[in-house]
């Protein structure tokens, strides 16, 4: 029995080390980790500033530790996923069992992709998704126009927006897709979008947020968008948007990214435009306008003017100014010094624009402009 005992304990040690090593590997995300019908998922938005406890976004590789436990929500929203039978009959026909390549498995209330200057007379906008063993993709949009369900599909199945390809783990290769759709309303105008999406897993490890601690794989998504818009009888014009990156931490069974940090590339460097994380209900403290003004004063004039008229800002310090539409999509970003500055708005940026001014110390102020 003595020789057996000599080999038994070293073998047991090797088995325990092997089990520990297996436990510390990248999660593998598949269709079971995506949204399902009936999901009602609460997401919190934090100020677009990395907490001191968080490593830089450039850090990548295996077995990372990300501490975002100090994130504080400034607002919350709920992302819902429903059955197709919650939409008008025309949309059920376009995206239901007879929809062919546009067949959807679930639908989510969303803002239709918006471009300043084009206000579509629609209500109840939704986005349709198809979930399969191979991918999770957007197959189209829908809305109600004068009581009629208006479907909007991509130009072809090959040009649908593939959000994820499965499985997703640290060892998965990068993948890319190109998509194209056009929304056209007679007498109002049209909007088209051409998008290139590139997904690259670049890290895995333990992520901590106010919602909890998770084993995650990080997926970095690069989005390159080009919009064309026409209003009324206007011939229309194209607009290439700033390159956007989404850093998404994915975990098993959560159904949405545990954490998403969105950036825009400005003058060759990344500027954080949004931080959003899975969360439970929290009472969000809203800073009064007076206190916000003391922390990060923002003065812009005129607040309503024609598209070609110059807009000026009075900045207390050097700052990054982000221009977004009401859907939260970044249209442009500018780095400006302190003092009275002219904001170089593109002529196509019309409608209600949101200005987010981020100072070097992290203070953020928000204002609105109306361009017509």
302-321: pLDDT as tens digits: 666 676 677 788 787 777 78
Whether residue 227 lies inside any domain: the answer is yes
Residues 92 and 221 in one domain: yes
Query: Which pLDDT tens digit goes with each residue over 66-112?
Result: 999 999 888 889 999 999 999 999 999 999 999 999 999 999 998 65
Q: What does pTM read for this prediction?
A: 0.77
Which stretches of the chain are DSSP H helices?
Answer: 2-23, 89-95, 289-295
Of 278, 300, 332, the last residue of a domain is: 278
Task: Output the pLDDT for position 130.
Answer: 98
Between CA 124 and CA 131, with CA 127 as vertex, the angle to 5 degrees is: 145
The sign of the torsion formed by the CA atoms of 148, 125, 234, 237 equals negative
H or E, element range at 295: helix 289-295
**pLDDT of 117 higher than 70:** no
Whether residue 262 lies inside any domain: the answer is yes
Residues 101 and 170 in one domain: yes
Task: Output the pLDDT for position 183.
Answer: 80
Mean pLDDT of all residues in the chain? Answer: 82
Residues 353 and 239 in one domain: no
Whether residue 10 lies inside any domain: the answer is no
Distance, CA of 35 to chain centre: 15
Instruction: Give φ, ψ of 251 to 5 degrees.
Output: -135, 160
SS (H, E, C) 126-185: EEEEEECCCEEEEEEEEEEECCEEEEEEECCHHHCEEEEECCECCCCCCEEEEEEEEEEE
H or E, element range at 204: strand 189-209
Instruction: Give φ, ψ of 222 to 5 degrees.
Output: -105, 125
Question: Distance between CA atoms of 157 and 93, rounded to whole angstroms?
Answer: 17
Tokens of residue 92, six digits: 């059920």
Residues 330 and 242 in one domain: no
CATH number for the domain including 366?
A: 2.60.40.1930
Say how many Å lie between the first and final Cα of the chain, rounded. 91
Return the minimum-mean-pLDDT range out of 32-36, 202-206, 256-260, 283-287.
283-287
Whether residue 3 lies inside any domain: the answer is no
Query: Which pLDDT tens digit goes with each residue over 256-296?
Result: 999 999 988 876 778 888 899 999 998 776 444 434 434 44
Range picked from 45-49, 130-134, 306-310 for highest mean pLDDT: 130-134
Task: Please count the CA atoms within 13 angstroms of the CA of 10 that sit on its side-chain side.
Answer: 5
Residues 329 and 258 in one domain: no
H or E, element range at 342: strand 339-343
DSSP 318: -
Residues 147 and 45 in one domain: yes
Whether residue 205 lies inside any domain: the answer is yes
Range picked from 22-36, 49-63, 203-217, 290-304 for highest mean pLDDT: 203-217
Confidence of residue 301 (pLDDT cuts 50, 70, 90): low
Q: What percent of the chain has pLDDT over 70?
A: 76
- Report how many domains make up the chain: 2
Task: Output the pLDDT for position 326.
Answer: 64
Residues 86 and 206 in one domain: yes
Whether residue 21 lies inside any domain: the answer is no
Residues 224 and 348 in one domain: no
Of 278, 301, 325, the last residue of a domain is: 278
**pLDDT of 248 higher than 80:** yes
At 97 the three-state DSSP class reads coil
Distance, CA of 337 to chain centre: 29
Task: Output the pLDDT for position 19.
Answer: 40
């Amino acid at each position: 029995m003595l020789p057996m005992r000599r080999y038994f304990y070293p073998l047991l040690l090797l088995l325990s080390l092997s089990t520990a090593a297996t436990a510390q590997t990248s999660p593998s995300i598949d269709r079971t980790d995506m949204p399902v019908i009936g999901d009602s998922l609460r997401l919190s938005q934090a100020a677009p500033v990395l907490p001191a406890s968080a490593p830089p976004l450039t850090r990548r590789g295996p077995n990372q530790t990300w501490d975002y436990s100090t994130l504080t929500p400034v607002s919350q929203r709920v992302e819902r996923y429903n059955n197709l039978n919650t939409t008008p009959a025309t949309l059920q026909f376009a995206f239901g069992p007879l929809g062919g390549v546009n067949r959807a498995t679930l639908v989510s209330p969303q803002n239709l992709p918006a471009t300043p200057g084009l206000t579509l007379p629609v209500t109840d906008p939704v986005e349709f998704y198809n979930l399969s063993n191979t991918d999770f993709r957007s197959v189209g949009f829908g809305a109600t126009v004068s009581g009629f369900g208006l479907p909007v599909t991509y130009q072809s199945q090959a040009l649908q927006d593939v959000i994820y390809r499965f499985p997703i783990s640290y060892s998965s290769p990068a993948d890319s897709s190109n998509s194209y759709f056009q929304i056209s309303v007679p007498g109002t105008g049209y909007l088209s979008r051409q998008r290139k999406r590139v997904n690259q897993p670049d890290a895995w490890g333990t992520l901590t947020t106010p919602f909890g601690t998770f084993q995650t794989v990080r997926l970095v998504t690069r989005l390159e968008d080009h919009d064309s818009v026409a209003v009324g009888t206007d011939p229309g014009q194209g607009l290439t948007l700033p390159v956007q990156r989404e850093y998404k931490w994915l975990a098993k069974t959560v159904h949405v990214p545990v954490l998403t940090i969105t950036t825009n590339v400005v003058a060759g460097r990344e500027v954080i435009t949004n931080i959003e994380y899975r969360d439970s209900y929290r009472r969000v403290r809203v800073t009064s306008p007076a206190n916000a003004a003391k922390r990060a004063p923002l003065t812009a004039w005129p607040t309503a003017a024609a598209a070609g008229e110059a807009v000026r800002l009075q900045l207390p310090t050097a700052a990054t100014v982000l221009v977004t539409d009401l859907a939260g999509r970044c249209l442009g970003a500018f780095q400006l010094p302190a003092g009275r500055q002219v904001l170089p708005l593109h002529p196509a940026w019309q409608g209600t624009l949101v200005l987010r001014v981020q100072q070097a110390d992290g203070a953020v102020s928000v204002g609105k402009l109306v361009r017509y």
